[in-house]
Amino acid sequence: MNNPNLVLGLPQIDEEHQQIAAMFAALSTTDIDVLTGQVAALETAIAAHFAGEHTLMASRDFPGLHCHKAQHAGLEYELHRAHGMLKKRQLDKVIRHLTVIMPQLMIAHITTMDRMTVAFLNGELGTADFAQLRLPEENAPAGARVE
Ligand SMILES: [Fe+2]
Ligand SMILES: [Fe+2]
């Protein structure tokens, strides 16, 4: 996950992304018990990072807050899936999930949603820049409308 493209321009977020990338890079590929502890630590770090982003976005009325939160929930779900693989001691499967699939999902999130969010927080994008990115409310199913 170490990649210069992950530097978005907000030190707190950039540092946390680097820490999370380092944790992914340090995952054991041979010891399932060590890996189980590392996954728990990764979940804690990611949950704290996501909570920090939520607080920052809410404090600045980021227009994509709900979409960003939904992506975080999806990433947490994917990471949580590792527990089932660990319990079944499916080492090859969990290694692939944690060293290939999860880093790709994290990089995709960081280079798109996080990048847009940081650009907004740094004043490079404004609320109007997000207006066209959302589905028109009139086309949304009744239960999906933001009231
Ligand atoms: Fe992030
Ligand atoms: Fe994020």
Residue-wise pLDDT tens digits, 100-128: 999 999 999 999 999 999 999 999 999 98
Computed over every residue of the chain, the mean pLDDT equals 91
Q: What percent of the chain has pLDDT over 90?
A: 82
Rg (CA), the chain: 17
Residue position matching structure tokens 């404090």: 59
Predicted TM-score of the model (pTM): 0.88
Angle, helix 65-87 to helix 102-109, in steps of 10 degrees:
170
State the ligand closest to the CA atom of 71: 2
* Distance in angstroms (rounded) separating the CA atoms of residues 14 and 7: 6
Helix axes 11-25, 32-59, angle to 10 degrees: 170
- Separation of 142 CA from ligand 1 center, angstroms? 30
Cα 59 to averaged position of ligand 2 atoms, centre (Å):
15
Q: What's the gap in Å between 118 CA and the centre of ligand 2? A: 10
pLDDT above 60 (res 48): yes
What is the pLDDT averaged over residues 53-58?
97
- Number of residues that make up the chain: 147
> Three-class SS string for 10-25?
CHHHHHHHHHHHHHHH
CATH assignment of 11-134, given 1.20.120, 1.10.10, 2.60.40, 3.90.220? 1.20.120
Q: Which amino acid is at 60?
A: R
Copy the structure tokens of residue 94. Answer: 């969990």
Q: How far is CA 2 from CA 15, 35, 49, 53, in A?
A: 12, 20, 17, 20
The whole-number average pLDDT for the span 41-62 is 97
- For residue 64, the model assigns a pLDDT of 92
Domain boundaries, the chain: 11-134
**pLDDT for res 137:** 62
User: What confidence category does residue 90 fall into, taking pLDDT thresholds of 50, 70 and 90?
Assistant: very high
Could you list which residues have their CB under 5 Å from ion ligand 2?
Answer: 53, 114
Query: What DSSP state is assigned to residue 4?
Result: G
pLDDT at 81 over 60: yes
